[in-house]
Structure 1
């Protein structure tokens, strides 16, 4: 009963407001959506047209570095079953389970590491030479690069990658000084571009020049003092020797 009375009161109020020219909430909403101009008791004004929100352009994904595991065929057996002759004569279902088609990323990475080691190792049982260490670090660095391209905020793996790069630089530097032919072979087989470290350069300021001149002066004075002490010790040793030889 009370709901009917309230509904009648609302309808009566809306009809009276429309007759008097007062803008009701329904008329304001319709005018806002249509962008029309209407007049009220205080004067006429225009509502702005609705803003059209166009769809945003799709951002193009930047192509990352090519994965080092792309050249591994899916029919190749895993590292643990490659030397088993029975694994190559089984049926298709078992070979599929033992192949790289259903292998994990770590298993593929282990097989790739063995391939890089086989390229540069001195002999079949070589597992501790500089060339093998460079191959292992190269496989690890490329895996970090692929991971950081997808997860560029992973600072822990970025730190590990930079540490591995510095370690590989030191190994390549020592290998270049000791055996240059092996260094060239490793860079060619693994596709490494060796860059020389930049030369140390310091801008010569007045303060740096004054400090350098002071340090040189101190060094010369210290050398003079050491030279005088050595001469004094030599003379005392000669005098003692003369005393011991005299009758």
Structure 2
């Protein structure tokens, strides 16, 4: 192909004609350059900041951190056991523990509401980072929505029980709690008729209860009057 192109150019042919004779496809970038077509500018994807960037690469993995005599190991082995060679799952595990340490009540606290919220927060941020790169991953998006709903429920429970702990948890984990939107239903014709019927029934029941209360008051007043008359008529 290149030999045919060189021969055509030496004969004095046009560049476009020479490439067509050489069998170069029209969609080739070289062909488009010869025709003077503008090249498509590829947009650079913005760099996504990860919540795992603050983890030092020299830190050991979670399962090797408490191994005895780990400091005496060779540097090459340490590097293999560090976060530099670790997967993203291992880094998320360490991030979970770091977030849990901020809100943990005691060293052995692993099941309180604050610790559960910290674990879910780390998982949510990992899923959000994944979806920024793979925005068509519907399964992980569904998982993220389920985890977010679970965390909202835990935050709501913690807010009702201990408001001070709730505020501290949101501050330490950098969570912005928003109240759920009020339920809004589309006003269909059937819904409007049903609502009017319910209001009419409520008003009728209210009137019946008011009449019953009035009758009870009249009966009590009569009984009190008869009792007073009897007291006045009895001789002392």
- Identify whether the pair has TM-score above 0.5, normalized to the shorter chain: yes
Describe the shift of the 1:222–1:135 C-alpha distance in structure 2 as closer, same or farther (beyond 3 A): same
Alignment partner, residue 163 of structure 2: 180
CA distance in 1, matches of 2:76, 2:189: 78
Cα distance, 1:223 vs. partner? 6.7
CA distance in 2, matches of 1:54, 1:190: 49
Alignment partner, residue 87 of structure 1: 70
Q: Where do 5+ consecutive residues of structure 1 fail to align? A: 1-28, 35-49, 232-247
Cα distance, 1:228 vs. partner? 10
Larger Rg belongs to: 1
Q: 1:69 aligns with which of 52, 71, 90?
A: 52
Q: TM-score, normalised by structure 1?
A: 0.65
CA distance in 1, matches of 2:130, 2:188: 44
Bigger shift: residues 216-225 or 169-178: 216-225
Alignment partner, residue 131 of structure 1: 114
Q: 1:166 aligns with which of 126, 149, 172?
A: 149
Cα distance, 1:205 vs. partner? 8.1
C-alpha RMSD of matched pairs (Å): 3.4
Describe the shift of the 1:205–1:90 C-alpha distance in structure 2 as closer, same or farther (beyond 3 A): closer
SS of the equivalent of 1:53 reads coil
Q: Where do 5+ consecutive residues of structure 2 fail to align? A: 1-12, 19-33, 216-236
Alignment partner, residue 52 of structure 1: 36
SS of the equivalent of 2:69 reads helix
